[in-house]
Structure 1
Amino acid sequence: MEGSSFRQISFFNSAVGKNITFVRPAYFKIVGFIGIPNMHYYYVFLFFVFFVSVLGNTTVMALIYLDHNLRSGKYVAIFNLAFVDLLGNTALVPKALNLVALCYDRLIAILYPLHYQVRVTPKIMLSIVAFIWLFVLTCVLIALGLLTRLSFCDSVVINSFYCDHGPMYRLACNDQTPNLVHGNLLIALILWVPLIIIVSSYVCIGHTLAKISTAHERIKAFKTCTAHLSLVAIYFIPVLTVYNMRANIHPNARIINLSMTTVFPPMLNPIIYVLQTQEIRKKNILLKTVLYGFEHLRF
């Protein structure tokens, strides 16, 4: 099959100027983790992380769904975050936008505590989440449309562990400018804009906390943000490293870094939120059993 694909490419190269305009190979070869030393240890680690991620996110979703007391706007966002984590969503649903939804919750809780019940309702949070999904699906469809205009007359080997848009369009032998513009625009809209919104929100939160009279009250209020800040750091640091050093980073390092970004935050998200959210910690025996296991996993 591989030989057939490259025969198509050779045929294209010998037929330039005729009616053939595009070469669309029968398949693409995803490199994955091939050629990276000692990967069998990493596979064991990935399996462990995947198992904990599925267990944790399923538990959080089940608790929020079954307990009618956890139907506030905040838990709509947490349920959505657990859902997209369970899907293994990093390649399809940018998590940065879901973190913005949770940032909105903390911002209103601290800046406008008396208006929290009015401004962070399930309906409002569902609207935010629905907009996020619509925006992301639109971005994905545009990326797919732009890929269909490319001709792959050289290589069909993608240096990633999934059909990543960047490594894929760079294989094309015709004009890649629209894909490059779209890719850079997505990095700005899905990474930098959410990060700027989150940082700006915490500047406002910090300014508000500075007005609180006692240090004890400031620390108590800031503790409500620690779970969200942990998720922001876990997600943004490795992702921004990859996308801002993409020209200088080794393909193997990029693959490892992206795979960690894909599987590690989904494992930590439910642990962080379960261990730091009092409303969830107070729930049933099943949760206490899961918490016991999570608390020992941390060590």
Structure 2
Amino acid sequence: MHETNVTIITMIHLLGFQSPQSITYYLFFLFFIIYCMTICGNLLIITLVSYSKNLHSPMYIFLTQLAVSDILLATDILPNAVHAVLVKVNRMSFTDCITQFYFFDVSETSECLLLTLMCFDRYLAICKPLHYSSIVNTQICLKMVIVTWILSASVVLIHTLTITTLQFCGPNIIDHFFCDLAPLLELSCSDTTLVQLEVTLLSALLVVIPFLIIIISYVYIIATILQISSTTGRQKAFSTCSSHLAVVSMYYGSLVCVYLVPTRKQSWNISKVLSLLYTVVTPLMNPIIYSLRNKDIKTAVEKTIKDLYNCYLNVS
């Protein structure tokens, strides 16, 4: 193709959800409420862990970072999705589209790594309890958290920069509610083999391998729990990792539905609905799962409410 015949895309049109006008405002309020609940729920987790000394442990340090990742993901996706529901066709510059994809990918990658660190923490606590305190401490946790964020931001930057070197000559319409990789590459008139190879290799490194580590760790965890003689001991050991197991199942289950099911066998409408699972539902459900299934979180909530109430009485 001659360069003079190439029209470079500067604006992206996101079709979002092509819903009937009769339910537009219902969808708007639904997404708006979900966004508010997601931000409040994850901020609550961060506040509780920071406020309560009983939660100053490695597992909850990782949990606060998971909450930060969920806030980043929700803020990156939901405001644009809410806007798209109202206007039907959401316009953004190509630069904004690439930026949205970058932060989306960073949050997803960091979530994979953080879930792996949380699983490793549970493995040590249940399978190596005598060595736990000598292996895991606050300083080591903070270092691992910093490495996780730096690694996520750096690795995602590699294929994001490669994407920016491609030529995008139209059409400039994406039938999705955010700038995901597959619909974005469909707009390119360049060879996308290098980008797809980079994404495949990096996904294997930062998504598939962590998932395998989680599976292997839980095999050892379940084997260790089954060896505990008392029923109370087994229940107590399982309760320490049940919340994490529920979050992992929901998160990776949604990723499998979206990325392992061939896109040609499913319509874009189905793909958009499935994408809601890990971009909208997971950030909303993570704090709920940890709040409802975790006794330490419940205790911290009750103590915080009592302290605030006593403070109010003293002021009055």
TM-score (norm 1): 0.82
The equivalent residue for 1:236 is: 252
Moved more, 274-283 or 74-83: 274-283
The structural deviation recorded for 1:229 is 0.7
**How far apart are the structure 2 equivalents of 1:217 and 1:68?**
25
**How far apart are the structure 1 equivalents of 2:132 and 2:38?**
31
1:62 counterpart (27, 47, 53) = 47
The structural deviation recorded for 1:115 is 1.9
Deviations along 1:232-287, one digit per CA (max 9) or x if unpaired, are 11111111110012332211111122123212112211122122332222235575
Deviations along 1:50-109, one digit per CA (max 9) or x if unpaired, are 222112111111111123342221111011011111222654312222111110111011
1:154, 1:171 within 8 Å by CA — same for their partners in 2? yes
1:168 counterpart (184, 200, 215) = 184
Higher helix share: 2
2:13 counterpart (26, 29, 37) = 29
Deviations along 1:18-56, one digit per CA (max 9) or x if unpaired, are 6x5975322122222235784544333222222221121
User: Which portions of structure 1, spanning 4 or more consecutive aligned residues, are displaced by more than 4 angstroms?
Assistant: 20-23, 35-40, 284-289
Identity %: 31
Deviations along 1:196-241, one digit per CA (max 9) or x if unpaired, are 1111000111222232223432232112111001101111111111
Correspondences of 1:12-161 after superposition (within 5 Å):
16=2, 23-34=7-18, 38=23, 40-88=25-73, 90-94=104-108, 95-161=111-177
The equivalent residue for 1:179 is: 195
C-alpha distance 39-237 of structure 1, shift in aligned 2 (>3 A)? farther
Moved more, 114-123 or 53-62: 114-123
1:252 aligns with 2:269: yes
**How far apart are the structure 2 equivalents of 1:140 and 1:131?**
14
Across the aligned residues of Structure 1 and Structure 2, the Cα RMSD in angstroms comes to 2.4
Q: Which amino acid aligns with 1:251?
A: W
The equivalent residue for 1:279 is: 296
2:9, 2:170 within 8 Å by CA — same for their partners in 1? no
Question: Between Structure 1 and Structure 2, how many residues are aligned?
Answer: 273
C-alpha distance 36-225 of structure 1, shift in aligned 2 (>3 A)? farther
1:263 counterpart (263, 280, 294) = 280
SS in 2 for 1:161: coil
**How far apart are the structure 1 equivalents of 2:206 and 2:176?**
20
The equivalent residue for 1:214 is: 230
SS in 2 for 1:28: strand
Q: Which amino acid aligns with 1:163?
A: C
TM-score (norm 2): 0.78
The structural deviation recorded for 1:160 is 2.1
The equivalent residue for 1:200 is: 216
The structural deviation recorded for 1:184 is 2.0
1:31, 1:161 within 8 Å by CA — same for their partners in 2? yes
C-alpha distance 185-170 of structure 1, shift in aligned 2 (>3 A)? farther
1:57, 1:82 within 8 Å by CA — same for their partners in 2? yes
Mind listing any 5+ residue stretches in structure 2 that lack a counterpart? 75-103, 307-316
2:7, 2:170 within 8 Å by CA — same for their partners in 1? no
SS in 2 for 1:92: helix
**How far apart are the structure 1 equivalents of 2:301 and 2:19?**
47
1:170, 1:176 within 8 Å by CA — same for their partners in 2? no
**How far apart are the structure 2 equivalents of 1:219 and 1:285?**
23
C-alpha distance 69-215 of structure 1, shift in aligned 2 (>3 A)? closer
**How far apart are the structure 2 equivalents of 1:149 and 1:126?**
35
**How far apart are the structure 2 equivalents of 1:42 and 1:189?**
37
Moved more, 20-29 or 274-283: 20-29
